Structure 1
Amino acid sequence: MRINHNISALNTYRMLTLNNTAVAKSLEKLSSGLRINRAADDAAGLAISEKMRAQIRGLEQAQRNAQDAISLIQTAEGALNETHSILQRMRELAIQSANATNTDDDRKALQDEIKQLISEIDRIGETTEFNTMKLLNGTLSGNQVGGVGSKLGDATAAYILVDDFNPGSSVTSGISQNVQVIVDGVTFNLTGVTGEDQFQWFQSLQTKLYAAIDAYNAANPNAPVVKPTFEIKDVQSQTSMDFVITSGTKGSKFQIEIRLLDDPSNTSAPAATDLVAELINNNNWTAGSDGQLSATAADAVTKLNDTDKLKMVVNGYTIEVMLNTVGEGTYNAGDDMTQLASDLETDINAALANYKDLTGVDFGTVTVSVKDGALVVESSNPDTVTIQFGVYDVSNALGLAGTGTAVTGGLNFHIGANKGQTLNLQLNDMRAAALNVADVDISTADGAQNAIAKLDSALKKVSEERAKLGAIQNRLEHTINNLGTAAENLTAAESRIRDVDMAKEMMEFTKMNILAQAATAMLAQANQTPQGVLQLLR
């Protein structure tokens, strides 16, 4: 029996300390209502919870932002309601003035009211404000920049090329042939095309085709067909040169198609034989189409190297596209732009993936294709991603000037919890000059007639502006509902991580409290145990 170290008491004391600590933690959780009061309670859970809290508070603020945006829109739309009423009154006065029963003095009186109404339109446009911002004087109209669709240089027209053309070689031994030619989608059936050699045969084809086009255009003056050109280029020798048939329509969407038609006197020519397909193996024919690189564009792109950069603004982020693939490519005049489109698509998507890794923002993917002779860049997320080309000289070399689908200026309402989640609104100039009614004069009958047309146009502009504002207001109301739902669901998720389950914790507290009391009682018993040594001293 030992008395210097009471092991039972030490063990009981340790358990008592643990129980008291557990009781203290339970009391803290029960009193705060939180399962996580400090990082030590659940380190990973705290990090997740705080990230969710940032999103929740962002969503709630975005709701308030959207509500403020609706208030601004209602202010502007309310002012335009009065502008509408004024324009209706002005139109009414113009129709009254146009009536022959009025004298010059009557029209002068009507014009006096018109002047006052014009002044009031200007006053509304100048003084309508929200939070000191003027809404209808044109300062919030925005500007068009950049674009999603962009054209690379000038696409060449459709063409057919006879490479290494030999004008002296026989083609059909003088046999008359029927030929079908389709130019810009219009079909011409030609008979009696003949020649002793290639050059004469094409001369005959040109003469008959031109005559057929002249007849067609005479019958269809509103939709004429432009004659294709027949010409010899790149002469190497008397027997080697290029013969090119080119559509007269720049950027034509249609191939020039030439087929031999069924001719009973020509047993060697089957019905509707594609002349290009029949002769391509022997005469090196190639058919071109809209969407080839012009000489200027091909030269500019070829000068690029893999260290050149294309600057883009995507979803508010300025990014640089390293033209690795494009810079290593070779492009010639007359080349189809499909290869360049593929190379550019590879480089842009590589840049977007890289910036996603850096920022955590998913920019989606980009497709680059050739449509109607244009190099078109499109995002997989058109509702949230704006592609805006500019700044670097390489943009000009690529011809990516844009079609003006992106907008700068105006008002950007931040209606999301994260960067770049905005809605842009432009408010057009609604003053008299912008509506083209500043000089309305109904002091004469003719002036009144002209005024009616002007006022109809002004009413249309105001109606379009109000309709736009109404549509955006309706959209924002849906936005508010969506933000509220998202915040509610995210709050529920955060609550499951951060908040304590009171019933479960009360059960835990009761258990630990009983254990603490039991440990206290046992410690008292353990302290009494060493007194047994006194029995040995008797």
Structure 2
Amino acid sequence: MAMVVKNNMSAINTLNVLGRNSKEFAKQLQQVSSGMKINSAADDASSYAISERMRVQIRSLDATLTNTQNGSSMMKVAEGAVSSTVDALRTFKAKAIDAANDTNTDSDRAIIQKELDQLMNQIDDNALVTFNGKYLVNGAMGGNIVADQQDSIVSFMAYLDACTSGTPQELLDGAIKFGSSGMFKDEASLINSFVEAMRNSNGDLLEVCGINLNNDDTGSITGLDAGGEKAKTAESVVPEEKTSYGGNTKGSSFIRGLTVNWPDDISDDMQKAIAGALDSQWLTNCMWLVDESFAINFWENGTSVKSMDVNFEDDASSNNLAYVTNYYNDGVTTKLELTVNMHYYNNLDLTDKNGAVKDNPNQLYLDRTLAHEMTHAIMAANIKNFNELPKYVKEGMAELVHGIDDYRKGKIQSLANDPDTLKDVLKNSGAPSDDSAYAAGYMVLRYMAKQAASSEPEKSAYFQIGTKASQTISIGLADMRCEALGLTKADGTAVSVATQQKATSAITVIDRAISRALKQQTIIGSIESRLEFTAANITTATENVTSAESVIRDADMAKSFTAYTKANVLMQTAQSMLGQANQNGSAVLSLLQ
């Protein structure tokens, strides 16, 4: 090896080694001090990017877990409010049952009514519960809730009853949206959905509408086919206890909030018999059936007319078995008349309590005809612009009261098998001169009721429970105030137990309110359960992603300490050798001595 003084290559080489050792030492020192084997993209670019994405996901999962826990807390607050309402309704029903018992006087019932008024105030207070300043069950986070098929129709009727402004079309669209819990936004969407469902099912009425043409149930909205507790047959749907023809009906009678004015002179024996039956039980039972079906009656504060004239005629040229005429001004009914067409009912079997016609078993019982027409009378007295509603709605609602899938079986099946004709009838129900509008209206309303029965309140709140934009839980918390539960109405009418009849009707209203509250409670409970599973899933996901990120980025400390020690020794060795190499130049001086 040459002896030189200008370039000390040994020192230079040792210096380079020292530099590399110093860098390695710094790297190992950083790993040991941070606990991570990747501290920057320079260490491992691809692994660093994967690790950073995982860290973003972990932070996001932590945020969604917080969201889930907050959502669960909110649901617990809502559940507490609804549970309190259910407790109040439980007491409410017990008081109504007590009031319906005729061991009580009207004075006793007035005292019970005061208790019920306080319970209604409490229910409204419960609905004002908040979470973080947000109202939960006063309608702000959802719309109407439908407990079952009948409740859908009750809600539909309640909307028609409550609204006093807007065009007839806006009124109908709003009622359909309200009665279906937002499932159908307007009349057009309901009709299109119904017709398409009939087309796709090849006319399967049972599947699409819940209409069973092969049993004794008439298909009334309170009957077994629509989810009721028992079948309503042609004989039982209007609940007479005995025959009650005859009597000397004169002047006026007061029946369930309605003053009934009888003809001045009834000379015909059959007319006398029918008038006697009307006075003694038919009108009472028909109005009770309408009230049970739709929660609407002549007792309401907003009822525009509370009297009705009864007439008899014999008109062979008319297809009307009986009909109600309503006179109105600016859409508000001012007078009602009920006319019975004796051409069809001049030969009643006076031993039959339902009003059967002798030798004509196919003729509709008179009590069912009256139930149909009294539905029109009560609707006209309570709904502004009733006459502007489509014919299929007016007739379909009346058919729902007493059921009609026995009497119009052929027409119903015919329309089910011909969706195009069915759609034409619904679009222009005033045109057909036969019973098509009656059948089509009955079918489409049963369809709406069946679909709405399984619906939930309109969803207007969302819990972000995932790391992607689409990973949300949408919720709807229905209005739990008294008006939404049917205990009060927009015109100020409240559930009353002032008389035995009103107390009996109140029980049905309270049962419906309980069903709505319990369904809301069930929905809240199911959301709480789902949020618990969601929280557990997020926790597991966080654990797994953290573990995966650890494999990529965390340092093996035993291995890192070994590498650190090695780098430290090598660096110190290089430093020592650099000192030795720097002494090589001094050897040249020995040649000069």
- TM-score, normalization by structure 2: 0.49
Deviation at 1:535, TM superposition (A): 3.4
Pair 64,145 (structure 1): closer, same or farther in 2 beyond 3 Å: farther
Q: Secondary structure at the match of 1:434?
A: helix
Of 515, 518, 521, the residue aligned with 2:573 is 518
Of 22, 36, 46, the residue aligned with 2:48 is 46
Q: Secondary structure at the match of 1:424?
A: strand
Deviation at 1:153, TM superposition (A): 11
Where does structure 2 lack aligned partners over 5 or more consecutive residues? Answer: 144-181, 203-213, 215-361, 364-404, 425-453, 489-493
Deviation at 1:222, TM superposition (A): 3.8
TM alignment of 1:21-32, pairs within 5 A: 21-32=23-34
Counterpart contact for 2:129–2:135, Cα < 8 Å: yes
Where does structure 1 lack aligned partners over 5 or more consecutive residues? Answer: 159-185, 187-216, 228-246, 253-289, 296-403
Of 446, 451, 457, the residue aligned with 2:512 is 457
TM alignment of 1:388-407, pairs within 5 A: none
Alignment pair present for 1:59 and 2:114: no
Alignment pair present for 1:96 and 2:146: no
Of 541, 551, 575, the residue aligned with 1:486 is 541
Question: Counterpart of 2:557?
Answer: 502
Pair 65,156 (structure 1): closer, same or farther in 2 beyond 3 Å: closer
1:3-38 deviations in Å (ceiling 9; x for gaps) = 100101100010011101111111112112222222
Deviation at 1:69, TM superposition (A): 0.6
Question: Counterpart of 2:501?
Answer: 446
1:446-484 deviations in Å (ceiling 9; x for gaps) = 111111111111111111110110111011100000000
TM alignment of 1:138-149, pairs within 5 A: 138-141=139-142, 143-144=182-183
Tell me, in whole angstroms, the C-alpha distance in 2 between the residues paired with 1:156 and 1:144. Answer: 19
Tell me, in whole angstroms, the C-alpha distance in 1 between the residues paired with 2:137 and 2:538. Answer: 29
Counterpart contact for 1:157–1:250, Cα < 8 Å: no
Pair 120,154 (structure 1): closer, same or farther in 2 beyond 3 Å: closer
Deviation at 1:534, TM superposition (A): 2.7
Question: Counterpart of 1:136?
Answer: 137
Pair 156,22 (structure 1): closer, same or farther in 2 beyond 3 Å: closer
Question: Counterpart of 1:431?
Answer: 481
Question: Counterpart of 2:287?
Answer: none
Pair 470,153 (structure 1): closer, same or farther in 2 beyond 3 Å: closer
Tell me, in whole angstroms, the C-alpha distance in 2 between the residues paired with 1:144 and 1:156. Answer: 19
Tell me, in whole angstroms, the C-alpha distance in 1 between the residues paired with 2:197 and 2:100. Answer: 53
Pair 106,224 (structure 1): closer, same or farther in 2 beyond 3 Å: closer
Q: Secondary structure at the match of 1:70?
A: helix
Question: Counterpart of 1:81?
Answer: 83
Counterpart contact for 1:144–1:407, Cα < 8 Å: no
Q: Secondary structure at the match of 2:484?
A: coil
Tell me, in whole angstroms, the C-alpha distance in 2 between the residues paired with 1:157 and 1:486. Answer: 43
Q: Secondary structure at the match of 2:473?
A: strand
Query: Percent same amino acid at aligned positions?
Result: 39
TM alignment of 1:174-185, pairs within 5 A: none
Counterpart contact for 2:457–2:478, Cα < 8 Å: no
RMSD: 3.5
Alignment pair present for 1:117 and 2:119: yes
Counterpart contact for 1:30–1:502, Cα < 8 Å: yes
Counterpart contact for 1:33–1:499, Cα < 8 Å: yes
Question: Counterpart of 1:330?
Answer: none
Matched AA of 1:121: I
Tell me, in whole angstroms, the C-alpha distance in 2 between the residues paired with 1:22 and 1:157. Answer: 75
Tell me, in whole angstroms, the C-alpha distance in 2 between the residues paired with 1:407 and 1:30. Answer: 58
Counterpart contact for 2:459–2:477, Cα < 8 Å: no
Pair 226,441 (structure 1): closer, same or farther in 2 beyond 3 Å: closer
Tell me, in whole angstroms, the C-alpha distance in 2 between the residues paired with 1:444 and 1:225. Answer: 40
Pair 477,41 (structure 1): closer, same or farther in 2 beyond 3 Å: same
Counterpart contact for 1:98–1:446, Cα < 8 Å: yes
Deviation at 1:429, TM superposition (A): 0.5
Q: Secondary structure at the match of 1:412?
A: strand
Q: Secondary structure at the match of 1:512?
A: helix
1:33-55 deviations in Å (ceiling 9; x for gaps) = 22222221222222111111111
Counterpart contact for 2:29–2:564, Cα < 8 Å: yes
- Tell me which protein shows more strand as a share of its residues: 1
Of 427, 446, 464, the residue aligned with 1:414 is 464
TM alignment of 1:256-405, pairs within 5 A: none
Deviation at 1:154, TM superposition (A): 9.5
Counterpart contact for 1:145–1:405, Cα < 8 Å: no
Question: Counterpart of 2:207?
Answer: none
Counterpart contact for 2:142–2:458, Cα < 8 Å: no
Q: Secondary structure at the match of 1:40?
A: coil
Matched AA of 1:138: G
Q: Secondary structure at the match of 2:462?
A: strand
Deviation at 1:251, TM superposition (A): 4.9
Counterpart contact for 1:137–1:430, Cα < 8 Å: yes
Deviation at 1:91, TM superposition (A): 0.8
Pair 226,113 (structure 1): closer, same or farther in 2 beyond 3 Å: closer
Counterpart contact for 2:465–2:472, Cα < 8 Å: yes
Pair 87,492 (structure 1): closer, same or farther in 2 beyond 3 Å: same
Deviation at 1:225, TM superposition (A): 7.6
Counterpart contact for 2:457–2:477, Cα < 8 Å: no
- TM-score, normalization by structure 1: 0.53
Pair 157,42 (structure 1): closer, same or farther in 2 beyond 3 Å: closer
Tell me, in whole angstroms, the C-alpha distance in 2 between the residues paired with 1:50 and 1:407. Answer: 41
1:121-177 deviations in Å (ceiling 9; x for gaps) = 11221x210111111111111544799x9777996999xxxxxxxxxxxxxxxxxxx
Deviation at 1:250, TM superposition (A): 5.0
Tell me, in whole angstroms, the C-alpha distance in 1 between the residues paired with 2:197 and 2:102. Answer: 58
- Tell me which protein shows more helix as a share of its residues: 2
